Amino acid sequence: MEQEPAKLAFVTAAYGEDFFPFLLSHLFSMHAAHPHCKSLVLWQDMPEQSMKLLEAAFPSCMFIKTNESLGASSVERIALKLKAWYIGAEICADMKVCFADCDTLFVKSIEPFFNECFDFTITWKDQVWPINTGVFLGTGGSKLSHFMKEWLSRTCEILSDANRANKANFLSGAPDQHSLRELIGFVNYDGFFNRSILETSYVIRGVNYQYLNQFDCAPITEETYIIHYKTGWHPILFKHQGFTTGRPKEKCLQMYEYFIKVFQMARTHLMSKTGADIPNGFI
């Protein structure tokens, strides 16, 4: 019997070899939680041999090498992520899609979040910057591509003007987060709301970040589906720099140990599938 096509797809982007251990762990956790999903990785500036190992370890994943002009700063690379997500939306047009940064881990299946009707889902937090774009859900189709294209365009406009970019960082934490707020409104993002964007009507849902985009140092609970190990975590996990004032050991130890556990499981998976260990420098 012919296998039913996957109904859920995951899209991520990775730029630079420092992200290899995050991408390895991300893919392992994602496929462990969603065994029959489709996944797509757009990547650049990683060793070819490392990516061949990932292709062998995750044969159901599609890897696409891009050739973009990479900016010097992480802020400049935000537009590249959105461009990759837009390409992913086009490729996965007939599917439910989870767009996620490659430094996220899936604790369990997020399929329950697609049980309600919406066009896309954002994650919000009751903080100064109320939106974080590390995770974004869409229900596919031309409407999603239409929105992603406009979101990318507006983000590029902000990035092209240093004053606007600085203002966006101050008001929303990042240019893509600010452009998203410009599109959907500077409002309360909790729950469902409707917006007309470029004469197209959208049903938008806001989900508290603790479910789908937990980036604080917090206990892992039944409500935790995705953990986001944002930039501040990177030197703690792989640069051996230790915990910090912003991420103290007493609060962050459980999340730290969880990442290390998943990373080691992913490393074992890689070796079992390829006979090779991860590249030097990440052990």
Q: Which residue has the tokens 């409002």?
A: 187
What pLDDT sits at residue 1?
A: 39
What pLDDT sits at residue 68?
A: 81
What pLDDT sits at residue 140?
A: 80
Residue 143 · residue 127 · CB < 8 Å: no
Phi, then psi, of 194 in degrees rounded to 5:
-110, 145
pLDDT band at 70 (very low <50, low <70, confident <90, very high): low
User: Hey, where are the domains in the chain?
Assistant: 8-274
| Stated pTM of the model | 0.94
Average pLDDT over residues 116-120: 95
CB atoms within 10 A of CB 164: 15
- pLDDT, tens only, 209-252: 999 999 999 999 999 999 999 988 999 998 878 899 989 999 99
What pLDDT sits at residue 242?
A: 87
The proportion of the chain whose per-residue pLDDT surpasses 70, expressed as a percent, equals 94
Residue 283 · residue 22 · CB < 8 Å: no
Q: Which residues contact 68 (CB under 8 A, 6 or more apart)?
A: 44, 80, 83
With CA atoms as reference, report the closest residue to 194 among 143, 136, 125, 260: 143
Average pLDDT over residues 100-113: 97
Residue 155 · residue 83 · CB < 8 Å: no
Residue 225 · residue 110 · CB < 8 Å: yes
Burial class (CB in 10 A: 0-12, 13-18, 19+), 279: middle
Cα 233-234-238 angle, rounded to 5 deg: 120
Superfamily of domain 8-274: Spore Coat Polysaccharide Biosynthesis Protein SpsA; Chain A (3.90.550.10)
